[in-house]
Amino acid sequence: MNGRERILAHLRGEAIDRLPLMPITMQFAAGQIGVPYRQYAMDYRTLVAGQMRTAEKFGFDFVSCISDPAREAADCGADIVMFDNSPPAFREDKARLADKAALAELKAPDPHGGGRMTDRLRAATLFKEKAGGDKLIEGWVEGPMAESADLRGINTIMLDFYDDPSFVGELFEFVLEMELRFALAQLECGAEIIGIGDAAASLVGPQIYNEFVWPYEKRLVEGIHAAGGLARLHICGNTTKILDGMGRLGCEIVDIDYMTAMSAARERMGNQVLLGNAEPVGVVRNSTPERVSAVVGECHRAAGARYIVGAGCEIPRDTPEANLRAMSDYAMGHKP
Amino acid sequence: MEEAKRLYTAVIEGDAKAAKETTEQALAAGIEAVKLVQEFMVPAMGEVGRRFQCGDYFVPELLLSARAMKASLELIRPLLAAGGVEPAARVVIGTVRGDLHDIGKNLVGAMLEGGGFEVIDLGSNVEPEKFAEAVREKKASIVALSALLTTTMPAMRTTVEALGKAGVRQQVKVVIGGAPVTQEYAEEIGADGYSETAAGAVALVKHVMGLKS
């Protein structure tokens, strides 16, 4: 049973030989091949090389196109700040939609248009060539809340929910169309599961999440499913108050960050396959292999059989290899 | 006094227009600026922090309240300055070099301002030397540092060192926070305190300053 088969069988509820292993790595993967993060994020060949090296070395069952939240916004013409060894980031004061009126003129970028979205499509294509059939290939898009925050400015959109809800609706419609198109293009290139990163959704609370964010996340998931893809939801931060909604999206996998109790996620999300949620810095990076193993075991027991091994969020760059090895060993040594 | 009570409600409800109007009315009715701050604004933001801490309020509601508070403070501050009223302390706050994430820093800044401190916000991606300059220029007694990334956390240490090199480390307390930051890290880099949450920042600053909570 290879990694791809293992994940897919697990998602179908079939018996598998051991727990699947799907930790998010970005900066750690760049570190594995000794390149600055800027190069990893900007060149699909580097990203694929880093992912392949990391997946082979630690026994991951998947490889991922994830790198940073700025690809779509960059292709929309946003002012992105690049750093040598941190992910690209946004400047709120120069947000692409600092002026709301700019939305009417904004055209959704073509994923094949030669920009940063195209670079991700090339990663998916290269993954298919190098790992297709062996490891599950994961594409990645920003969720509606996260991408809207990227385009509008995260501080500003928080106020927009109260100041101008109809603008928020228009922005979310734009983002949904763009992200769905991007997701489908990645599926066409070889991705089989699409990760949806909706980081900022944990900041808004259940009322705004259910009213504004959830309907768009749901349509994104439905669109991915309609195209034959699988969906993985990843919301950073404390999602305790929005777990019910997250569980109703119909995603094949839902990641749980460390600030949310895995037991609460299991209690409120039925039979959902859950992934997580060892604390990335405090436990995975800063503690010992024994502690990592013990914490992953606690997560497994809290989540039960419908569980995939991973951390709450990205494995930090300077994580000792022995600690990630301990996480891997747990997956290798345990059945669901 | 009705106006002042309405200011309290306006800040909690995040209604900037009402906060401005009630402040104008309260001042016109002869209520002292310092009383408005200490007896209405600070308790209102304290209540906002409490609601945020217990999960009744989230980031949008906290930012709305912060905006309402600022609308009122714009009218009150010049009067406090004219009356020679000093803030509890001056806080220089910023996200460290290499890090553009500012929402956590903004939440902490709002809570500290609502706690009666004067907040000098240096923004994000702030060079270590800028913190030292601001401390000297503004006579600040607190430096609050934020970082969201493990890769930018080391700039917190560099900033603490820069305060030392500039000869201002002894006159300030340094507090830090952000998703990857821990109490252990605060101790490791020689910071004076760490808060896990924005709402906890006010109590932390009061604690390190030896002020009453």
Beta bridge partners of A80: A90
Smallest CA-to-CA distance from A308 within A195, A199, A139 is with: A195
Q: Where do we find the tokens 């004076």?
A: B192
Chain A residues touching B61 at Cβ < 8 A: 205
Does residue A96 contact residue A108 with C-beta atoms inside 8 Å?
A: no
Give the domains, in start order, of chain A with CATH numbers.
Answer: 3-333 (3.20.20.210)
Binary contact (B151, A86; C-beta < 8 A): yes
What's the CATH number for B90-209? 3.40.50.280
| pLDDT value of residue B151 | 87
Structural contact between residues B33 and B27, judged by C-beta atoms closer than 8 angstroms: yes
Q: Check if A81 contacts B (Cβ < 8 Å).
A: yes
The pLDDT assigned to B213 comes to 65
A290 phi and psi angles, rounded to 5 deg: -65, -40
Give residue B88's pLDDT. 86
* Domain residue spans of chain B: 2-82, 90-209
Q: How far is A188 from chain B (nearest CA, A)?
A: 33
Count CB neighbours of A321 within 10 A: 14
Mean per-residue pLDDT over chain B, rounded: 94
- Give the distance from residue A314's alpha carbon to the nearest chain B alpha carbon, in angstroms: 11
Q: What is the model's pLDDT at position A74?
A: 97
Tens-digit pLDDT profile for chain B (213 aa)? 788 889 999 999 999 999 999 999 999 999 999 999 999 999 999 999 999 999 999 999 999 999 999 999 999 999 998 989 888 899 999 999 999 999 999 999 999 999 999 999 999 999 999 999 999 999 999 999 999 988 899 999 999 999 999 999 999 999 999 988 999 999 999 999 999 999 899 999 999 999 876
**Region of residue A133 (phi > 0: left; psi between -120 and 50: alpha; otherwise: beta):** left
How does pLDDT run along chain A (336 residues), one tens digit per residue?
999 999 999 999 999 999 999 999 999 999 999 999 999 999 999 999 999 999 999 999 999 999 999 999 999 999 999 999 889 998 888 999 999 999 999 999 999 999 999 999 999 999 999 999 999 999 999 999 999 999 999 999 999 999 999 999 999 999 999 999 999 999 999 999 999 999 999 999 999 999 999 999 999 999 999 999 999 999 999 999 999 999 999 999 999 999 999 999 999 999 999 999 999 999 999 999 999 999 999 999 999 999 999 999 999 999 999 999 999 999 999 999
Q: Among candidates A35, A245, A57, A48, which has minimal Cα distance to A144?
A: A245
Cα distance between residue A238 and residue B168, in whole Å: 37
Chain A CB contacts of B67 under 8 Å are 159
Report the residue of chain B nearest A160, measured CA to CA.
B60
Q: Which CATH architecture has domain B2-82?
A: Orthogonal Bundle (1.10)
| Cα B167 to Cα A1: distance, rounded to the nearest angstrom | 63
A263 contact B CB<8A: no
